[in-house]
Amino acid sequence: MVMKKYITCTLLSIIISYIIHAQEIVHQDITQISKPFTDLTQGSFKGKNLLFEGNWVKGKLLTSNNSIVSCDSFLFNFDKIEHRLLITSDYKNMFEIDRREFKAALFYFDDSAYVFKHIYFINDRDLFQILVNDENKYSLYKVVHTKLIRESFSINTISVGGSNFREKYVDMPEYYIFFPNREYRSIFSLKKGPIERIFELNRDSEKVNEYLKMVGGKVYNEDDLIKLILYLNKESI
């Protein structure tokens, strides 16, 4: 719970920093940087391909010209497969925000805030979720790659073929670790070996090995990786 509050405060401080350095004019008409999304189906507004599924959320945008777009009448969601930022005001019409028109997005969901941003020198398509942000030390970002997988199923151990299949969405998070010199490495597998190899030639490799030994185990989750980066930042001079 403490970690969740810390991360939430960190993310809010990041977006507040963006807002402070942005232009003072707040655009109310968000449709100026969006276009109608016409590829709608019955499940479009509650799809498993959406980051918040049926829970469309409040949000803010930092535009390409450093102004803040905020409009309470619109709700946000994010298509994890096509990486499209979507908005709606009535659950009948949907708009897609032009990815060239914004640098970062802030989403409010439950009691937490989530900040995503473009990192253009990596690519201009993905939105990177900020997990830890420090301009002078280590930073950690996440990109979720989601695939729609079709699989056949069986009834009473008898294989059912033809059109009898079920679909499921599988999330494959990729983590980007930025070093103090701003070089970065990406990692899919949160196992001890891959994590150690990322820091193998790094000056903090011994600290990483010590921390992983202290935590124990050979497989880790996202919170463990966040705590590792925060630990390295705390230990850095």
Q: Please, which residues bridge with residue 102 across strands?
A: 63
Residue among 131, 111, 125 at smallest CA distance from 80: 125
Q: Over 80: is that where the pLDDT of 104 sits?
A: yes
Within a domain: 26: yes
Angle of helix 222-235 relative to helix 205-215, nearest 10 degrees, comes to 130
Q: Which of 15-19, 72-76, 200-204 has the lowest mean pLDDT?
A: 15-19
Looking at residue 26, its pLDDT comes to 44
Gap between the Cα atoms of 10 and 133, Å rounded:
8
Answer whether residue 179 is part of any domain.
no
pLDDT at res. 160 = 47
User: Strands 158-178, 184-187: parallel, antiparallel or unpaired by DSSP?
Assistant: antiparallel
pLDDT digits (tens, 9 = 90+) for 23-64: 444 444 687 888 888 776 655 788 888 999 889 999 999 998
Q: What is the mean pLDDT of the chain?
A: 83
Cα-Cα end-to-end distance for the chain: 28
- For 129-155, b/e burial (b = at least 16 CB within 10 A) is bbbbbbeebbbbbbbbebeeeeeeeee
Local confidence band at 102 (pLDDT 50, 70, 90 cut-offs)? very high
% of the chain with per-residue pLDDT over 70: 80
Which pairing describes strands 68-70 and 26-27: parallel, antiparallel, or unpaired? Answer: parallel
Q: What would the pLDDT profile of 5-17 be if each residue is shown by its tens digit?
A: 444 445 455 554 5
In a domain? residue 77: yes
Lookup: tokens for 141: 């970002």
Residue 181 in this model has a pLDDT that exceeds 70: yes
- Give the model's pLDDT for residue 163: 57
Alpha-carbon radius of gyration of the chain: 20
Q: Which candidate, 157, 234, 154, 232, places its Cα nearest to that of 195?
A: 232
Structure tokens at 38: 């016409």
Do 128 and 121 contact (CB within 8 A), yes or no?
Answer: no
Residue 75 reports pLDDT greater than 80:
yes
Q: Residue 67, exposed/middle/buried by CB under 10 A (0-12, 13-18, 19+)?
A: middle
- Residue 44 falls inside a structural domain: yes
- Percent of the chain as helix, strand, coil, to the nearest 5: 25, 40, 35
Q: Is position 95 within any domain? A: yes
pLDDT digits (tens, 9 = 90+) for 117-165: 999 999 988 999 999 999 899 999 999 999 888 776 655 544 445 557 7
pLDDT at 217 over 50: yes
Beta strands (DSSP E) in the chain are 26-27, 34-36, 58-63, 68-70, 75-79, 84-88, 94-97, 102-109, 112-117, 128-132, 139-155, 158-178, 184-187
pLDDT of residue 20: 41
| Domain annotation covers residue 15 | yes
Domain extent, residue 76, equals: 1-115
Residue 207 pLDDT > 90: yes
Specify the pLDDT at position 43.
59
Length of the chain: 237
| Predicted structure pTM score | 0.82
Q: How confident is the model at residue 187 (pLDDT cuts 50, 70, 90)?
A: very high
Torsion angle, CA of 55/190/178/61, rounded to 10 degrees?
Answer: 0
Residue 159 lies in a domain: no
pLDDT at 1: 43
What is residue 58's predicted lDDT score, i.e. its pLDDT? 94
Instruction: Mention every residue, 6+ apart, whose C-beta is less than 8 A from residue 70.
Output: 26, 28, 60, 61
- pLDDT band for 200, please (50, 70, 90 cuts): very high
The structural domain count of the chain equals: 1
Which pLDDT value is given to residue 44?
A: 77
102 falls within a domain: yes
